[in-house]
Structure 1
Amino acid sequence: MGNSNLYKGSLTTIILKLLGEFDKMYGYEITQKVKEITHGELKITEGALYPSLHKLEADGLLDVEVVKVDNRMRKYYKLTEKGDKEIVNKVTELENYVKTMQVLLNANLNTSK
């Protein structure tokens, strides 16, 4: 995807949706899963991902579990009950936005013809 600004507003929804599907994930795993699902079209950078994860945690939507893996500490993120409920709101909000954009893009805006 050429313009990363287009998905930045959707990043929270993407994270919540993934964690709703895969229970718990660590940051790099999230970036790779998005890349895999979108066939490389969407690449989430660490600079975009981690501030979003920290905000979701601060908002009470995510819990963090630190696990030692191969002599290093890895942070796993998982939804709280509040986060699980928020998925529906965020997905609906994004779906409505996409529908509105499709109407706008498919409309005949030049009515003077």
Structure 2
Amino acid sequence: MNKQSLYKGCLEPIVLQLLGSHNRMYGYEITVKVKELTKGALQITEGALYPLLHRLEGEGVLTAEMEHVGNRMRKYYRLTPVGQATRKNALNELNDFIATLQLFNKPAIS
């Protein structure tokens, strides 16, 4: 089984957690941090990340601000107060999901 397909459903809590633990981040920075933290096991593509960031921004979970850096514009994202609550809920749901999956990793008792 492809690990990337397993990670796909966990992308939102991962991104929310990163934004919650950093003041603000831009898209490429998020992808680099995820790759770094997972030692390359998880690599988020732009095609997966940016639609998620735009959806969360549209839902009021994130705010974005443009900043001129060098010769280019960079879009920084940060959590809103709604985003902070969403982050907590997403992490709780992720932890519940992990606990449920762990049930299948225990030896069967006959």
TM-score range, shorter chain: over 0.9
1:7 shift after superposition: 0.9
* Equivalent position of 1:93 in the other structure: 93
Where does 1:43-54 land on structure 2 (aligned, <5 Å)? Answer: 43-54=43-54
Distance in 1 (alpha carbons) for counterparts of 2:6 and 2:104:
16
Does residue 1:28 correspond to 2:28, yes or no?
A: yes
Kindly report the root-mean-square deviation, in angstroms, between the aligned alpha carbons of the 2 structures: 1.6
Look up the SS of the partner of 1:68 in the other structure: strand
- Identify unmatched segments of 5+ residues in structure 2: none
Amino acid at match of 2:13: T
Q: TM-score, normalised by structure 1?
A: 0.91
Look up the SS of the partner of 1:67 in the other structure: strand
1:105 shift after superposition: 2.7
1:107 shift after superposition: 4.4
Indicate the percent of aligned positions where both proteins have the same amino acid: 50
Poorly superposed stretches of 4+, deviation over 3 Å: none
Aligned pairs, number: 110
Distance in 2 (alpha carbons) for counterparts of 1:101 and 1:14:
18
Which of these two proteins has the greater Rg computed from alpha carbons? 1
Distance in 2 (alpha carbons) for counterparts of 1:101 and 1:95:
10
Amino acid at match of 1:88: K
1:30-80 CA-to-partner distances (Å, cap 9, x unmatched) read 000001111111100111100110111111100000000011110000001
Distance in 1 (alpha carbons) for counterparts of 2:9 and 2:59:
17
